[in-house]
Structure 1
């Protein structure tokens, strides 16, 4: 079925009536009402650009489980391996994680010696553990340990993309706990050999008993840090007295040593919940969007459903040390921000515990690694995809694993239209470029047509719905065309609206670009 003017007319009139009924009528705009998107790729992970929707919705998508990427089975690793960091450095994927023989023995929590380990991959799918020869463990340096000093509980590296970054500090990291005095700053030239940037901690007010991280924000042109706090709590010397809920705090810095602008994260339409890790960072295809994968922590207690979950005997064993060790559950969430402080957080789980099987539905399960990376698809000829990673098997036995999950590029959230059809109109935007490109997927019978409107909502001649060529398929980068072609250069710099009329389709992102 092709979209034609006659077939669109019946439900288009209904949609127009719905828009008018909901108060979407033209009005005079000020400069502040127009969002300047330039040539950025824009996703629908937040609602900043959405003006109105009729018979469409924002649809949260979920990562698809793939094979285990690495098993932490060395004597210095153990079931407490966690706080994973993934860095895509050219064609090398660098993996950092804490090793610890965490578990329960005789009704007591057991912490083994903590070390930080390194692994790497050329495809982001299979990781190997190089013999680094740096840190001695039980009389031998034949291991993949690179750090065992201050900050070893939660060492979180990143690749510094600040243009002014000196070569010796190409990699940086934060790490430390309240008992150590706070977060310390580290640097490295090669990502393997590390040193302190100064002896004193650089952030001292917080709880820090989580994966605390930092990165260079190229849009804001400053460093940002995100670390654990509580909704209420006080620091007395080196002792943090928690109260309320586990929460996330941020700060910023020009030099990575002096931090200011401390602020607790706020959320749009989300309840107060326990959030463990935060995993905030720039999305690699749209770095102006800060995307986070916080861990939600839920204390369930004993019930028939809890007893029905996998490995009940192990669960009961851990509960002897503390009820929450056996009956608390964790899962991954999704959130996004443009200013680094106010986030839109999806209340529905992004990465659920999934199918019941051994080593899942545990406290410590689905702590998503920091951060998402781009990998090749397993389907020959298909577009690249997003890979994220999360552990399973924590607190059980002598090892755990890191599983890879995949998602289409920009595929966190889509504008979804059913078979009956629907539409979405953006807020007024201003762009730079010549062509409009979409990341979308349709059924064989579905499609998307695009109309360009003035900021008052009037269709622009040459770019009306009737002149739009229908798009169908499944592409991360398709150019929109009209009867006269796809050149939009005469509209560049003007305030316009985009009207997407869709049927059995998902729209993931759009961007303006120069003609190829």
Structure 2
């Protein structure tokens, strides 16, 4: 009981952190991987600082769903950065209908910068009387309901299977597809690789069901939609070969060490963050059934389909590190509805799969908006690299002390921003919290400015080779500043 009280007092900042006892805490092995402050993974304690969620900046419409084979019910978008080319995939659906019927196709657009998009013309499928269009998959119901492709980065993957995808509904199961170029697709001979019979839930698959190769777990991972207790939930399964999958496990949710609320999550959009692939980001669509915002008159004015304004939705941010738990560190909305009735209808504000880099210090997430309306489109939102969340200190100042960690590298890089009056100093301590000579706060050079990659220095320089491989703690003393991420580099 006494030890517990000491820990609680330390967390409140009343006492110093308790000294580690042998075997009490195993240092985190972070190597040279980038760590983001999107969860509490690195954090031992904070005093005068807090975790802060940042919101992407609306950059406007990038794709209008205005072709005769696209229309009001386009959705389930995926954006993939393949070298210098950005590829977008989305369901084309001009009129309401049953999930998985023949009226659904999958469309394609591409961009050289992620900002300006074009729709190439192919002649693979004739639809709506048009022989040339941007359709890359049709006449494949029900897989065209929610076709979700990914670029397979597994070492040694055959060129003919460089792109893979899952698609289907409960009746078909999740069916595997492959493509050499992301445009020409064929169904894998294995067919339904995740069949209904292997999923122990009453309803499943009727959403965007995502998959990817994890370079950290060295497996294919899939996250797909299920229902439990009439609530839209997420299950996870894994595979060594994309064909044979493990029994699915239901994902749970925690928020800063506490059990998080269970809300309807329509799409999960889980994917490895491209600058830190051991962290899987989920920019998920949160669905609020029967939470009606618009009156009948408002709905009629914007031309929304009569069945699609009785609910509302937005996007939330979650993370997971490969287990069966999502960290919902932030319960509030990540991308919320904008000004105007068109932003407060059913199934709008649904994020596309993947966050991609679109500039030297910029990344983008894309959002499906104005659903079931003549103005349906895909919109771009921008953020700074790693800028999902930060450790924030206001003008009064504060500090963050990490858990004991072991790194591999010779320099410490931070992604940070300050005001003109603010700054960050870094002290390196041993695992028991004792400052290491040469790397104390008194030795630290204050970091002022706004950079995504600043090398921290002390009076003696920046070389940390002598500490590499040893358990240490980092203390950040901050004023009017945000710390987004850190990485030890070689």
Please, what TM-score do these two structures have when normalized by structure 2? 0.91
Match of 1:342 in 2: 325
Question: Any residues of structure 2 matched to 1:106-125 within 5 Å, and which?
Answer: 113-125=103-115
Aligned-pair distance for 1:393? 1.4
Query: Which of 311, 327, 335 in structure 2 is aligned with 1:351?
Result: 335
Match of 2:214 in 1: 217
- Partner SS state of residue 21, structure 1: coil
Match of 1:13 in 2: none
Aligned-pair distance for 1:110? 13
Aligned-pair distance for 1:231? 1.4
Q: Would the aligned equivalents of 2:78 and 2:90 in 1 still touch at CA under 8 Å?
A: yes
Aligned-pair distance for 1:373? 0.2
Question: Any residues of structure 2 matched to 1:38-437 within 5 Å, and which?
Answer: 38-103=31-96, 113-148=103-138, 149-150=140-141, 151-179=143-171, 181-205=172-196, 207-232=204-229, 244-268=230-254, 269-302=259-292, 306-307=294-295, 311-313=298-300, 318-319=305-306, 321=307, 325-345=308-328, 346-354=330-338, 356-357=339-340, 359-376=342-359, 383-397=360-374, 399-437=375-413
Of 387-396 and 251-260, more deviation after overlay is shown by 387-396
User: Does 1:27 pair with 2:13?
Assistant: no
Unaligned residue ranges in structure 1 (runs of 5+): 1-15, 233-243, 377-382
Stretches (4+) displaced over 4 A = 16-20, 108-112, 314-319
Tell me, in whole angstroms, the C-alpha distance in 2 between the residues paired with 1:110 and 1:157: 17
Q: Would the aligned equivalents of 1:252 and 1:259 in 2 still touch at CA under 8 Å?
A: yes
- Partner SS state of residue 168, structure 1: helix
Tell me, in whole angstroms, the C-alpha distance in 2 between the residues paired with 1:468 and 1:23: 21
Aligned-pair distance for 1:360? 1.2
Tell me, in whole angstroms, the C-alpha distance in 2 between the residues paired with 1:332 and 1:50: 26
- Shift in CA distance, 42/18, structure 1 to aligned 2, threshold 3 Å: closer
Q: Would the aligned equivalents of 2:205 and 2:226 in 1 still touch at CA under 8 Å?
A: yes
- Shift in CA distance, 294/301, structure 1 to aligned 2, threshold 3 Å: closer
- Shift in CA distance, 116/17, structure 1 to aligned 2, threshold 3 Å: closer
Tell me, in whole angstroms, the C-alpha distance in 1 between the residues paired with 2:92 and 2:10: 60
Tell me, in whole angstroms, the C-alpha distance in 2 between the residues paired with 1:44 and 1:307: 41
Q: Would the aligned equivalents of 1:103 and 1:110 in 2 still touch at CA under 8 Å?
A: no
Q: Would the aligned equivalents of 1:103 and 1:111 in 2 still touch at CA under 8 Å?
A: no
Cα deviations by residue, 1:24-82 (Å, 9 ceiling, x for unpaired) = 21122438620010000000111111001001000000111002111010000001010
Please, what TM-score do these two structures have when normalized by structure 1? 0.87
Match of 1:5 in 2: none
Q: Would the aligned equivalents of 1:330 and 1:364 in 2 still touch at CA under 8 Å?
A: yes
Unaligned residue ranges in structure 2 (runs of 5+): 1-8
Tell me, in whole angstroms, the C-alpha distance in 2 between the residues paired with 1:75 and 1:91: 30
Q: Would the aligned equivalents of 1:44 and 1:413 in 2 still touch at CA under 8 Å?
A: yes
Aligned-pair distance for 1:327? 2.2
Query: Which of 464, 479, 490 in structure 2 is aligned with 1:503?
Result: 479
Match of 2:447 in 1: 471
- Shift in CA distance, 301/224, structure 1 to aligned 2, threshold 3 Å: closer
Match of 1:12 in 2: none
Aligned-pair distance for 1:19? 6.0
- Partner SS state of residue 475, structure 2: strand
Cα deviations by residue, 1:69-127 (Å, 9 ceiling, x for unpaired) = 110100000010100000000010000000001349xxx99988110001000010011
Tell me, in whole angstroms, the C-alpha distance in 1 between the residues paired with 2:484 and 2:413: 11
- Shift in CA distance, 157/25, structure 1 to aligned 2, threshold 3 Å: same
Q: Would the aligned equivalents of 1:102 and 1:112 in 2 still touch at CA under 8 Å?
A: no
Tell me, in whole angstroms, the C-alpha distance in 2 between the residues paired with 1:128 and 1:470: 46
- Shift in CA distance, 422/135, structure 1 to aligned 2, threshold 3 Å: same
Tell me, in whole angstroms, the C-alpha distance in 1 between the residues paired with 2:304 and 2:422: 53
Tell me, in whole angstroms, the C-alpha distance in 1 between the residues paired with 2:382 and 2:304: 34
- Partner SS state of residue 220, structure 1: coil
- Shift in CA distance, 109/341, structure 1 to aligned 2, threshold 3 Å: closer
Q: Would the aligned equivalents of 1:365 and 1:391 in 2 still touch at CA under 8 Å?
A: yes
Q: Would the aligned equivalents of 2:294 and 2:344 in 1 still touch at CA under 8 Å?
A: no
- Shift in CA distance, 109/496, structure 1 to aligned 2, threshold 3 Å: closer
